RNA sequence: GGGGCCGUAGUUCAGUUGGUUAGAACGCCUGACUGUCGAUCAGGAGGUCGCGAGUUCGAGUCUCGUCGGCCCCGCCA
């Protein structure tokens, strides 16, 4: 490079007029008038118009005729005030332009598959294939830079609180109790495998035993499960653990941190302490363990009313120990018969057999239940639920869990449709009082959080006899209906850990084989400890209002866990496999 | 493992009841042009209609399969 950059493209103003500057950047746009050539030269700060005028410099003007969009150039020249009638008020740098005296072409570019502007809607498949171009878009630049500022703020914050960042290994031991592991074959020990960590959980507990009483880490975690709009196979978490703490210490720390993050990075004031809601209550009132409490429309149990009509479905459900619950949605009486049919079909996704409804439209209410309930009875339930003219009431009958889930989902769906969610509002919430265990599809006990979560002391006597009733010392942090973190006070005594393993049907032999090192550590002077992990990507999603986690991750994977940029995963050489002692069983048809 | 939506030029899309040579805008190429900023004007190139099979005299269009992308259920301690 002959020339050396002196200034950034997007920040020049009329204060810079008459300065001699050198700008470097990408040609965003070129307008060739034959005599004059205008180029919008941009970098991550924005762009400035640079002017090639043969009367200023003949050579650079001649050279500029060949310059194309996407090329990388350096230009030297004097900042000039634009003629009054050609100022561009839409542009921060619109009052000035650079009169080019010297041009250096640093690199050419092929015509790009898409212009890296925010205006152009390009399919995500194309964006991911050329992610380096997509990342040039101002929105993506903003997101990635915010990500950096967030991690920096967290590190500063935790440092001030006396926490130390300590790295934990990525090549570690497989513990198939939780999510599916990503497995890495060992070359030195053929037929043996490492696993990529789903979280540094056990290591951070060992660090507590080691006396690093305040640990944190901004760290990648890996889970080989199917993806969603807010789930990637590798995600980053803010992982925290501390000794000699109780729930309140963690709450206060996280509240301070989130308040600081939102204040400093996006200028939003969160009110601390955050409200707390019991797990059971959340599920009964909102149909979710990560309720969005920015709006009402809570679930109401109307089983007593439902038993009064002649609707066989309700009666049968109630006889079988099920429930009938309802929600009230403002403005929903405008829904058409066709809308209702669609909702009926949609709600079966969550196991509901159907959807009953009362639309309080004028002149009179419409309902799917008119055949089974008198008009007075319908009016009464509407009144009980606080329904006003214009509202829609929706009912689901069935086993309690299913009713809660499906109505909870319906509540969210209709809230979006009828704009019940206040924009720009951030509502954090602690979810507390979780049970320690729940049952999987086959009725086996599994950890709700993870097997290292401490039961409440006063519930310990019931662990073996009535394990379903034992409460956990765990907590989730929920923001706007998204789970952004979870943690617990851990078990720090070997005896209790062994009892929990046993209740989870992990026998002593297997527990020792899988978690022997933890049990030994717990019997080596483990202090009481606990912590939390916050999902950094989801937090960012909420902060920038992204609808997909991919928009805050520089190089994300597709829904089928493929990197469209590098085409990973991919087959490896026969030689590599041999060294690892592996043989691939080929499927008759390609799976990718 | 399952359900839904989608796939046509570099990009975003249109394409009728199955019917001639598959169109538009932007982008790209060539030329003209000294105040443009979605520059303008004149001309031009660019297509395995994701792929395969079937139905048909004839398929971008219908059927089946398959690959890929997105959203969701299951899964995600």
pLDDT in tens, A4-51: 999 999 999 999 999 999 999 999 999 999 999 999 999 999 999 999
A177 beta carbon to strand B: under 7 Å:
yes
- Tens digits of per-residue pLDDT, A253-284? 999 999 999 999 999 999 999 999 999 999 99
Structure confidence at residue A121 as a pLDDT band (50, 70, 90): confident
Residue A443, pLDDT > 90, answer no
* Contact between residue A50 and residue A23 where contact means Cβ atoms under 8 Å apart: yes
Q: Which nucleotide is nearest to A221 if distance is taken from CA to C1'? A: B76
- Tens digits of per-residue pLDDT, A429-438? 999 999 999 9
Candidates A477, A475, A484; CA nearest to A540 is A484
Asked whether the bond before A363 is cis by omega within 30 degrees of 0, the reply is yes
Per-residue model confidence (pLDDT) at position A449 = 92
A563 beta carbon to strand B: under 7 Å:
no
CA separation for the pair A460, A500 (Å, rounded): 10
Q: Which nucleotide is nearest to A39 if distance is taken from CA to C1'? A: B37
* A217: helix, strand or coil: strand
What integer is the mean pLDDT of A507-524? 92
Q: CA A293 → CA A403, A428, A478, A489, distances in Å?
A: 19, 9, 10, 26
| A:321-340 Cβ neighbours of strand B under 7 Å | none
C1’ B34 / CA A31, Å = 12
CA separation for the pair A567, A550 (Å, rounded): 17
* Contact between residue A240 and residue A166 where contact means Cβ atoms under 8 Å apart: no
| Alpha helix positions (H), A375-445 | 375-384, 400-417
Number of helices (H), then strands (E), belonging to chain A: the values are: 16, 22
Fold (CATH) for A295-417: Gyrase A; domain 2 (3.30.1360)
A84 beta carbon to strand B: under 7 Å:
no
Structure confidence at residue A120 as a pLDDT band (50, 70, 90): low
What integer is the mean pLDDT of A570-582? 92
A123 beta carbon to strand B: under 7 Å:
yes
Q: Which residue is nearest to nucleotide B11 (CA to C1')?
A: A114
Q: What is the DSSP letter of A15?
A: G
C1’ B50 / CA A566, Å = 20
- What is the predicted ipTM? 0.92
- Tens digits of per-residue pLDDT, A331-354? 999 998 888 988 998 999 999 999
- Percentage of residues in chain A with pLDDT exceeding 70? 98
* Contact between residue A223 and residue A190 where contact means Cβ atoms under 8 Å apart: no
* Contact between residue A550 and residue A540 where contact means Cβ atoms under 8 Å apart: no
Q: Does domain A14-107 have CATH number 2.60.15.10?
A: no
Q: Which nucleotide is nearest to A87 if distance is taken from CA to C1'? A: B37
Per-residue model confidence (pLDDT) at position A213 = 96
Most confident of A129-133, A512-516, A588-592: A129-133
CA separation for the pair A389, A382 (Å, rounded): 10
A504 beta carbon to strand B: under 7 Å:
no
Per-residue model confidence (pLDDT) at position A586 = 67
Structure confidence at residue A440 as a pLDDT band (50, 70, 90): confident
Fold (CATH) for A142-270+452-552: BirA Bifunctional Protein; domain 2 (3.30.930)
Q: CA A6 → CA A12, A41, A80, distances in Å?
A: 11, 14, 16
| A:425-464 Cβ neighbours of strand B under 7 Å | 440-441, 446-451
- Do the domains A142-270+452-552 and A295-417 sit in the same CATH topology, yes or no? no
C1’ B1 / CA A92, Å = 54
What integer is the mean pLDDT of A416-420? 92
Residue A249, pLDDT > 70, answer yes
What nucleotides of chain B have any atom within 7 angstroms of a protein Cβ? 1, 10-13, 27-29, 32-40, 66-77
Per-residue model confidence (pLDDT) at position A145 = 96
Per-residue model confidence (pLDDT) at position A587 = 56
Candidates A407, A404, A406; CA nearest to A393 is A407
Query: Residue ranges per domain, chain A?
Result: 14-107, 142-270+452-552, 295-417
Q: Which nucleotide is nearest to A180 if distance is taken from CA to C1'? A: B76
C1’ B73 / CA A351, Å = 9
* pTM for this prediction: 0.93
C1’ B47 / CA A445, Å = 59
| Alpha helix positions (H), A432-573 | 494-503, 508-522, 536-544
C1’ B41 / CA A29, Å = 19
A93 beta carbon to strand B: under 7 Å:
no
What are the start-end ranges of the E strands in A284-337? 300-301, 323-329
A267: left (phi over 0), alpha (psi -120 to 50) or beta: left
| A:1-60 Cβ neighbours of strand B under 7 Å | 29, 31-36, 38, 40, 49, 51, 53-55
C1’ B4 / CA A558, Å = 18
Q: What is the mean pLDDT of chain A?
A: 94
CA separation for the pair A176, A27 (Å, rounded): 52
Q: Which nucleotide is nearest to A550 if distance is taken from CA to C1'? A: B70
């Amino acid at each position: 490079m002959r020339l050396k950059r002196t200034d950034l493209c997007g920040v020049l103003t009329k204060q810079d007029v008459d300065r001699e500057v050198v700008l470097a950047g990408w040609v965003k746009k070129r307008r060739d008038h034959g005599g004059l050539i205008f180029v919008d030269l941009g970098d991550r700060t924005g762009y400035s118009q640079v002017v090639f005028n043969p009367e200023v410099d003949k050579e650079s003007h001649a050279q500029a005729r060949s310059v194309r969009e996407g090329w990388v150039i350096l230009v030297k020249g004097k900042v000039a005030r634009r003629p009054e009638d050609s100022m561009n008020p839409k542009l921060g740098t619109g009052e000035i332009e650079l009169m080019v005296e010297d041009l250096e072409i640093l690199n050419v570019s092929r015509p790009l598959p898409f212009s890296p502007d925010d205006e152009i809607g390009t399919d995500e498949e194309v964006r991911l294939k050329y992610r380096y171009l997509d990342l040039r878009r101002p929105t993506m630049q903003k997101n990635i830079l915010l990500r950096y500022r967030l991690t920096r703020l967290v590190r500063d914050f935790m440092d001030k609180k006396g926490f130390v960042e300590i790295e934990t290994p990525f090549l570690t031991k497989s513990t198939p109790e939780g999510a599916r592991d990503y497995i890495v074959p060992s070359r030195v020990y053929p037929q043996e495998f490492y696993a990529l960590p789903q979280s540094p959980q056990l290591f951070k507990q060992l660090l507590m035993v080691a006396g690093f009483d305040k640990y944190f880490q901004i760290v990648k975690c890996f889970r080989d499960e199917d993806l969603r709009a807010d789930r990637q196979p590798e995600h980053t978490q803010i992982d925290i653990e501390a000794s000699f703490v109780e729930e309140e210490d963690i709450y206060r720390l996280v509240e301070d941190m989130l308040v600081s993050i939102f204040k400093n990075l996006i200028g939003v004031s969160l009110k601390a302490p955050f409200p707390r809601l019991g797990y059971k209550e959340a599920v009964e009132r909102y149909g979710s363990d990560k309720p969005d409490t920015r709006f009402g429309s809570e679930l109401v149990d109307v089983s007593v009313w439902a038993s009064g009509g002649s609707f066989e479905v309700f009666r049968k459900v109630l006889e079988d120990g099920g429930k009938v619950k309802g929600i009230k949605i403002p403005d929903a009486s405008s829904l058409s018969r066709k809308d209702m049919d669609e909702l009926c079909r949609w709600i079966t996704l969550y196991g509901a057999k159907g959807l009953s409804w009362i639309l309080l439209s004028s002149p009179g209410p419409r309902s799917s239940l008119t055949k089974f309930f008198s008009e007075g009875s319908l009016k009464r339930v509407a009144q009980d639920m606080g329904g006003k003219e214009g509202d829609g009431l929706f009912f689901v009958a069935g086993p309690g869990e299913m009713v809660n889930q499906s109505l909870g989902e319906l509540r969210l769906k209709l809230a979006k449709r009828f704009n019940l969610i206040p924009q720009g509002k951030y509502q954090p919430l602690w979810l507390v009082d979780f049970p320690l265990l729940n049952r999987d599809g086959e009725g086996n006990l599994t950890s709700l959080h993870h097997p290292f979560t401490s039961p409440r002391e006063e519930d310990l006597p019931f662990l073996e006899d009535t394990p379903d009733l034992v409460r956990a010392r765990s907590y989730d942090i929920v923001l706007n209906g998204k789970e952004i973190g979870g943690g617990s006070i851990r078990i720090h005594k070997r005896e209790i850990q062994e009892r929990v393993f046993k209740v989870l049907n992990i026998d002593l032999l297997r527990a020792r084989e899988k978690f022997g090192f933890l049990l030994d550590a717990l019997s080596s002077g483990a202090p009481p400890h606990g912590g939390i992990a916050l999902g950094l990507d989801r937090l960012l999603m909420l902060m920038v209002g992204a609808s997909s986690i991919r928009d805050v991750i520089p190089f994300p994977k597709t829904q089928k866990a493929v990197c469209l940029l590098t085409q990973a995963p991919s087959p490896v050489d026969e030689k590599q496999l041999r060294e690892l002692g592996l043989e691939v069983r080929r499927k008759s048809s390609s799976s990718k």
